[in-house]
Amino acid sequence: MTNSNNSPGLRERPLLHNVLDAADRLGISKWTLYELMHQGLLPSVKIQSRRFIADVDLEAYVERLRIEAGDRHGL
């Protein structure tokens, strides 16, 4: 598999993150991440017995937070 930017040595981000990696990417605990999933604020997928969060869903969640923060602050 080749990188889309054709730069050797650069890794592409994975499409899916396990719970610990997703929590780390957001800078929150795994328990907070589970709560976000339980509340329906962060979608996840299950593959066999493991739960994963798509990279695009992590980015979309952060973007929603940024938009909400801007709305609250009149930006």
- pLDDT tens digits, one per residue of 23-56: 999 999 999 999 999 999 999 999 999 999 999 9
Contact 36, 42 (CB under 8 A): yes
Residue 74 corresponds to which tokens in the numbers above? 């009149």
* Residue bearing the bigger pLDDT, 71 or 41: 41
Q: CA–CA separation, 19 vs 57, rounded Å?
A: 13
Q: With 70 as the cut, is the pLDDT of residue 61 above it? A: yes
Confidence band, pLDDT 50/70/90 cuts, at residue 71 = confident
Q: Is the pLDDT of residue 7 over 60?
A: no
pTM equals 0.77
For the domain made up of 16-72, the CATH class stated in words is mainly alpha
**What CA–CA distances, in Å, run from 16 to 22, 55, 63, 66?**
9, 6, 18, 22
